[in-house]
Structure 1
Amino acid sequence: MVITYDKTKAEYVVSKFVESHNHPFIIAEWSHMMPSQRRISSVQAIDVELASDSKVSACNAYELMGRQFDGKESVGYLKVDLKNYLRTRRQKELLYGEAFGDVISFDTTYKVVHGNRPFAIFLGMNHYREIAVFGAALMYDEIADSFVWLFETFLKVMSRKAPKTIITDQDAVMAKALKQVMPVTKHHLCVWHLMNNAQKNLLFLFKRVEGVKKVISKLMFQIEEEDDFIREWNLMIAEYGVAGNKWLSTLLDLRHKWALAFVKHDWSAGMSSTQLSESFNGQLKYYLSRQLILPEFFTHFDRLLSDKRYKEYEAEYGLVER
């Protein structure tokens, strides 16, 4: 259809109409699915948030709403709208700076040349979503007692304020120390390390790296309900006949540390891996070298911290000048 303005009549008229270009109207039963008809009211938002805070899953909350309104078609929104609302709510908490220091990435992969000692780093994001260093320590070894000492010292310098969530690699000794020192903190496993381990341990099963990534990624990121996760896991075990696989059994036991269905209520500020640490390790290599003796090592590390603090000043000044 083409509409033009007729100057002689001083009005708009339909100058061309092609009936075959029309689309049939949707039936009344589908009208509630149209984007223009979907909205979570302020009253409904309160119920949604209460359900989420009470650990009620999105599926169960939507089912309850449907019963309250005598049918899902009368709720006023779809389940996907409910999930999007909760996701946006969590993101807004980060925008207002409430997550500063609440999510920590802990990594010991950077090694110092003298004895190949691990250089442990506690990292997070500042309110500009840039890397913030909360602590660092040159460790002698990576035994349980060393980690307990390190985590206790970290809590001491942080005024006993434990992070809500800490992300690490899959180290059983480290996990044991974390549980002892920070029992309330949620411990998440780095999904990047987890995927790499899956490729090493399951390549024989799925034949190709792409197959491993497809199956594990689905379990990691695409399934949001716990019952659906268990169902999908059992289907995978049955399909590939790996009921006795020890690595998969361990992975299932750790599902509360990596699977979306079990960690979605944990505050993570959008972080799911220790990639902050990987990025920071790259910066370390720019400032440090393995030829440095220990006093030089810490001098150059302090230079790195000074440069990062100055960049934060620049970011704050830039914000004021906008």
Structure 2
Amino acid sequence: MTRCDCKAKIVVHKNGSDRWEVKTFVEAHSHNLMSPSKVHCLRSHRHFTDSHKVVMDNMRKAGIGTAKVLNFFTNEAGGPEKMGFIDEDARNALKLQRHDKHGKSAQELLLYFQNKQRNDDNFTYAIQIDNECRLTSCFWADNISKIDYEAFGDVVCFDTTYKTNEFDMPFGPFVGVNHHKQSILFGAGLLFGETIEDFEWLFQSWLQAMGGKLPKAIITDQDPAIAAAIASVFPNTEHRLCMWHIVQKLPEKLGKVINENPSFNNDWRNCVYMCDEEAEFDALWDVNDTTE
């Protein structure tokens, strides 16, 4: 009614003999109706119940990721159209649960950061709060991280794959490699979400803690929000995609080619791992090209 002034309606009254009677029925709609395959997406047809919340909360406490929790609900119902809610409803409910628990944990985290800073003048932390003064994201880096970054910060890896904490918050470490080929930490953060704004805040906090020194290159997964934030905060830094994530996509993107060409995997790895120059890669790729 509020969007397109649709007059379609049905009015039912109960008469004195305990029978229901249709008083008014207007069939004509002023808009196209939702198809049966999409009707479950309508807000009026979605109900995320308290029992759903209890099951989801117990599964999350057991260490089951949000995606697997949603897959469970989908399989249990017999398909997404039979769940009674959509993924967004479940994720919003999870966010509200996280907000309810954040108060005490946020205070404990802040006290921890303050104690660390009292014992280490070079310890840096930053917190982000929402309009209701609730903590949403945080960042921290100690003196060792800053010293390591000064020496080995030309190339930085950033990833938010892991969400094993109680609040399902993406954990974003800034990682490098030292001269012994050991992984070293340049700082880390916990994010409430994975939007462009969330990543921009984290990158800016990290850059300020590192004295404004930009990395020459940063390696991430294929998240478009991360890519947009890098372009905004690190405009002069080379952005490259993580090889591990690329390899994970091979069966999905090139499954047919791999099945029809058993040698493709070896040929592909030779192109990727045995070439130091772009021209060398192109030449070897052309020799082993079996995608046509």
More helix by share: 1
More strand by share: 2
* Shared fold, TM over 0.5: no
Q: TM-score, normalised by structure 1?
A: 0.40
Q: TM-score, normalised by structure 2?
A: 0.43
Tell which has more relative contact order, 1 or 2 (C-alpha 8 A, sep 6+): 1
